[in-house]
Amino acid sequence: MTEGRSEAPRLSPRLRKIAEFAGNDLRLADVGTDHAFVPIALIKAGRIPSAYALDLREGPLKRAEEHLSEFGVQGRVELRLSDGLSAMQPGEAESVLIAGMGGELMIRILKDAFQRDRALRRTTFFGTVREWIFSPHTEWEEFRRFLLETDLRITREELVCEDRKFYLIMKAVPGDAAMPYQEAGRAGFSMDSALRFGPLMLLSRDPVLLSFLLREREKTERIERRLAQSAAESAAEDRRAELREYIDKISKLITMFSNSDIIVDDPLPAPEPAIRASQTQ
């Protein structure tokens, strides 16, 4: 094995934050690894002992193999052609990273893994994985609801703005999934808001979330004004009512944030994701 480059690969802001979420000294399984930069960076930094890099396609695994050789970590990252976690066995990895895909697909991957566990009546991923790191590009609300129903508790969540897009990154562990939502409820946040925007980010009055909320309100108001200028139709009026309700919810959250001395520095123009936070990319 060649020694490879001494430095770690340069990571984008989103990937740097994902790597930051990873626990130390845990074997990592990177699902949908693509270039394998996150496990390579963690190994080069001495954060993890080894990793599995999984992908559904041969092409990304070939690129990952080239990067493993370039940085001299071939013997510490095992490549596997895998649909989700299908090529993994419970107990092989203590940390699982699933990122770079929609929330609906991530839910399918987790359901497949957990159902396979139950069908084979064996040691489970739920029982052997100590931490799950997720970065769903879409369906944020639906994904949080699935974690709650599956009893995976969110222990950390942050938004990262990269190339005028917001990316959600979260860490979850088994058990007590309702706890952060209960804490958010005691702080005055509704269950709907906590599922949509994240209980921990609401509790911490996350400044990047506040930037997101301000942009969401501005964008939604523009859409509502355009609908108001179109021909009056019942469908358009129904949609306007939905938008006004959403604007009102966001405005109430922004008011709650305003009591926490957060200063938002947001020089970028508003991006154009979908209306709902759970569908933002």
- Rounded to whole angstroms, the Cα distance separating 92 from 89 reads 6
- 84-121 pLDDT, tens digit per residue, is 999 999 999 999 999 999 999 999 999 999 888 776 66
Chain mean pLDDT for the chain: 88
- 3-29 pLDDT, tens digit per residue, is 677 788 899 999 999 999 999 999 999
Superfamily designation of domain 13-138: Vaccinia Virus protein VP39 (3.40.50.150)
What six digits make up the tokens of 249? Answer: 């919810």
Query: Domain coordinates of the chain in residue numbers?
Result: 13-138, 207-279
Strand partners, 55: 81
What six digits make up the tokens of 57? Answer: 């396609």
Starting at the edge strand that comes first in sequence, how are the strands of the sheet with 51-55 ordered?
Answer: 77-81, 51-55, 28-31, 95-101, 131-136, 165-174, 152-162
- 138-173 pLDDT, tens digit per residue, is 999 999 999 999 999 999 999 999 998 999 999 999
- Rounded to whole angstroms, the Cα distance separating 129 from 171 reads 12
Nearest to 134 by CA among 185, 173, 93: 173
Strand partners, 160: 167
Per the CB < 8 A criterion, the answer to whether 106 and 147 are in contact is: no
Give the Cβ contact number of residue 78 at 10 Å: 17
Place of tokens 């999934």: 177
In this structure, the chain runs to a length of 281
Q: How confident is the model at residue 270 (pLDDT cuts 50, 70, 90)?
A: very low
